[in-house]
Amino acid sequence: MKKSFLMILFLLVLTSCAQQPKDPEKYIGIEAAKAAALADAALPADAPADFSTTGLDRANGEDFYAVNFTADGVSYQYEIHPVTGAVIRSNSQGPRLIGDEAAQEIALQHAGLTADQVTVLSIEQDIENGRQVYDVEFYTADHKEYDYNIDAITGEVVSYDYDIERPLPTDDTRPETPDTGTAPNTPVLGTDSPIGEEVAKAVALKHAGLTADAVTFLPTELDWENGRQVYDIEFYTADRKEYDYEIDAATGEIVSFDYDAEHALPQNTVSSPITADQARSIALAKVPGASSGDIWDFESDYDDGRLKYEIEIRYNGMEYDFEIDGTNGTILEMDSEPIS
């Protein structure tokens, strides 16, 4: 009887020892575990995530970091290995982000290029007119630069920009004057220009895959861009897609173009604009833990006739900058960076 009791006691001691952390000094810590979870979720380390559960936990005799958070309407649950930082288990509810590589591939396919033909400048997450996007920038060996905004959830091309950058011609005889938006002796549209305004419009429409009866043109301008004379052609469609082209006035070459599927045209009637306090609340909701005392700067302004709020929040070593549409509360822009 005594021998059996000692054996049971010995087994209990062994079990207790086995359940103790093996080497907690080597554990990565909760901040590193949070960073590992954010990286696996394809979110930047400074993403405004709302962490509901973080800490060291244990199951089946093994330690792990439990990291649960919500970001951009998606709920994430993670178990992170305490030593390696590897993801043991993960779960999410809501749409997942497509990731940097997928966003880059979508932009390259749209541009008709491959990865070995470009140099990628940056791929960053941002907020564009209230939706989360990947900002993908790259250029080619012949100095063509591309800038894409790709919807971070659906992969849709939200907007893109293309520019041909070239130096001023060495034999250019025009006098050097400050860039005021016009050039000396600018010809009248449709008279002195080699191709004419209507031809320039046709070039832009063909590239955009549209017809003249499907768009509304804004006033056309003749300008100088990097030593060449260009037509600035702007138009928009009924579904609020805006296009902006620069067409070489001598050759008809497309010098640059810009497309924006999200930019709303100015509204003349606004039923119920949000208040300044509502704008503050919208911004603070994106920075969990921050309060009104963390708002360092607040301004209201009008852009193309629309009320806009600009808000700066400083919290937990980070600076957050917001632009909020005063007519409906949409977050137009949101940026964050460490406070230096």
Q: Please work out, in degrees rounded to the nearest 5, the angle formed at the alpha carbon of residue 24 by the alpha carbons of 18 and 25.
A: 145
Digit-by-digit pLDDT tens for the chain (340 residues) are 555 655 555 555 545 544 444 567 889 999 999 999 888 887 777 777 888 878 899 888 889 999 998 876 678 889 999 999 999 888 877 667 788 889 999 999 988 899 999 988 888 888 777 677 889 999 888 878 898 989 888 888 888 888 766 443 434 433 343 343 433 333 344 444 478 899 999 999 998 889 999 998 888 888 877 778 889 998 888 877 888 888 999 999 888 888 776 544 444 444 577 888 899 999 898 888 888 889 999 888 776 567 789 999 998 888 888 888 888 888 888 777 777 6
Tell me how far apart the alpha carbons of residues 190 and 195 are, in angstroms, rounded to a whole number.
8
pLDDT at site 315:
87
Looking at the DSSP assignment, which residues form a beta bridge with residue 147? 137, 161
pLDDT at site 183:
37
Cβ atoms of 182 and 133 within 8 Å: the answer is no
pLDDT at site 73:
65
3-state helix/strand/coil string of 244-309: EEEEECCCCCEEEEEEECCCCCCCCCCCCCCCHHHHHHHHHHCCCCCCHHHEEEEEEEEECCEEEE
- Please report, for the chain, the start and end positions of each structural domain, with discontinuous segments joined by +: 23-93, 100-260, 276-338
The CATH number given to 23-93 is 3.10.450.40
pLDDT at site 65:
92
For residue 114, give Cα distances in angstroms to 81, 107, 139, 154, 162: 37, 10, 11, 21, 16
pLDDT at site 3:
56
The CATH number given to 276-338 is 3.10.450.40
Domain 100-260 fold is Nuclear Transport Factor 2; Chain: A, (3.10.450)
pLDDT at site 182:
37
Q: Do domains 23-93 and 100-260 have the same CATH topology?
A: yes
Looking at the DSSP assignment, which residues form a beta bridge with residue 319? 314, 337
pLDDT at site 1:
55
